[in-house]
Amino acid sequence: MRSSSFSLVSAILMLCVTVLTCSTATVGGRLKVGGNLTVAGLLAFGDSIIDSGNNNHLKTLAKCNFPPYGKDFMGGVPTGRFSNGRIPTDLLVEALGLKQYLPAYLDPKLKPQDLLTGVSFASGSTGFDPLTSKIASVISLSDQLNMFKDYIEKLKGMVGEERKNFIISNSIFLVVAGSNDIVNTYFGTPFRRTEYTVDTYTNLMVRSASSFVQELYALGARRIGLFGAPPVGCLPFPRTTAGGPQRHCVEEYNDAAKLYNSKLSPVIDHLASQLPNSIVLYINIYDPLYDIIQNPQKYGFEIVDKGCCGTGLVEVSILCTKLDAVCPDDSKNVFWDSYHPTEKTYKIIINSLVKKYRNRVFGPKQHT
């Protein structure tokens, strides 16, 4: 567990590059990055991959605050995390020594001191396309920005203007979205395909992602990491609904994800060069997850095409309940339900990101 935590800290370092050469040490349980800069907190935006319970408080079917979700989380308590245990943001804040897990901003039990080290504004089933959140009746990214503005005012009331600015400028901002746009909105409904091709739709997604990053920057964010799309055609649900009798990965979906990523990456690189005193990073999540799916034995997995809940073919959210049996050993499954990975998968993916981005962390200066 100690070596895993070290790797997770290294993964976060890629978002902490400054105009100074990056030197690190832990101070008071937190990571110190060059000079007097510290990683003050983690602020998360996006979809179910990093939703730690915001959807619990919405009138939506995209919920999971019931068993068997959370069976491996803090004594088996379902919290609204779309997994069997911890999600990426929980692993990251623990590794940074900030706290045990990242709470949802809408959690009624949220304590004022939680605001100091970060929260999640993410909402399961949302996306960069505004229609995506409307279809699912969840919190749009624009509304997540409004929640963040509310957070800023609360933070200012607690610690004052100067400390508020310090916390925001020295926090890591993580943005994870795009999968629901491709799988649910574009291929899952007829609404967008009547007016967009895959090419023009991914353009829409990239424009929205770029605008979101710029809006975060305008509100004070200076360290922003944005995940690309994963191989969505290999998720169990699309395999079942569009993968044919053999439930193959749906290449049409994967091709859309790769096209989106190929457009997003240079746009994010351009933003990184244009936004002063910032580090803005495109994070390739497609390749590490695809490698796990194609080479499961290498990572200690046995089942890649089914979730752990129920039949594993379609169960997700309200279709995955305490009435459904779960696999006897979820460490053998890449996916917990028909959309979301297990905690073990998340750990492996984050460690793979360390290897990919290590040189960008410890190499030459990124900005002048």
Q: DSSP alpha helices (H): ranges in the chain?
A: 2-13, 88-95, 114-117, 130-136, 141-169, 179-180, 198-218, 236-242, 251-274, 286-294, 343-362
Express the helix, strand and coil content of the chain in percent, nearest 5 each: 45, 10, 45
Q: Which of 72, 90, 181, 337 is catalytic?
A: 337
Residue 307 backbone dihedrals phi, psi, to 5 degrees: -80, 175
Which of the following is catalytic: 10, 48, 140, 278? 48
Active site residue 181: no
Give the separation between CA 62 and CA 52, rounded to whole angstroms: 13
* SS3 state at 132: helix
Number of H helices, E strands in the chain: 11, 6
Which member of 10, 107, 340, 352 is catalytic? 340
> Does 68 sit behind a cis peptide bond, omega within 30 degrees of 0 on the bond before it?
yes
- DSSP conformation class of 312: S
Q: Which two tokens stand for residue 315?
A: 């169960």
Locate tokens 């897990």: which residue?
Answer: 101
Told to judge if 169 belongs to the known catalytic residues of this protein, a careful annotator would answer no
Active site residue 305: no
The residues assigned a catalytic role are: 48, 337, 340
